[in-house]
Amino acid sequence: MSNGDPLFRQAHLPSKETTYIGSGGDKNRRKDDTGSMEYVQKDLLEAKLETIEARMDGRVASIEGKIDTFLAAQQERDKASDTRFSRIESDVSEIKTLFGSMKTTMIVTAITTVLAIVIGIAGFNAMLTSNMLASFQAGRADVSVQRVAIPEVKPPASIASPEVSAK
């Protein structure tokens, strides 16, 4: 472009004789791919339109029938769903009450278990203390009985002292 060449040359631009679709009407097209429109009689046009309208009415009626059938089936499903949901709600409320009573039962059981353990340990301690006291008292009584019952025995003179035997 630095040497002064134009961006587009004449070969790139369309010729002045070129006409475009829509610029010259129905008959001035660049290609002759469509013929000109012919006149249609009014009676034939109305008959075709009535036939098309009758077919469309039949199709619309068929679609309306299908929609009505679908809506009826949907209403039945809604009724069944409502029944199912109400049953589920009643089951959930029943489960909530059962969980509440089960929670109470678990708390009472835990408290009872703790009390039983505490009372059992206290009873075991009382039994051990009682047994130890009874054993101690029995041992004391045995010692006093032994002191009274055993007379003091003197050893024989021959064994008594070594000094006496040496004389």
DSSP letter for each residue of 128-166: HHHHHHHHHHHHHHHHHHHHHHS---PPPHHHH-HHHHH
The average confidence (pLDDT) of the chain is 79
> Would you kindly state where each structural domain of the chain is located, as residue ranges?
42-143
Q: What are phi and psi of 4, to 5 degrees?
A: 95, 10
Is the Cβ–Cβ distance between 27 and 36 less than 8 Å? yes
Query: For residue 136, what pLDDT is reported?
Result: 86
Least confident range of 71-75, 101-105, 108-112, 154-158: 154-158
Of 155 and 24, which is predicted with more confidence?
Answer: 155
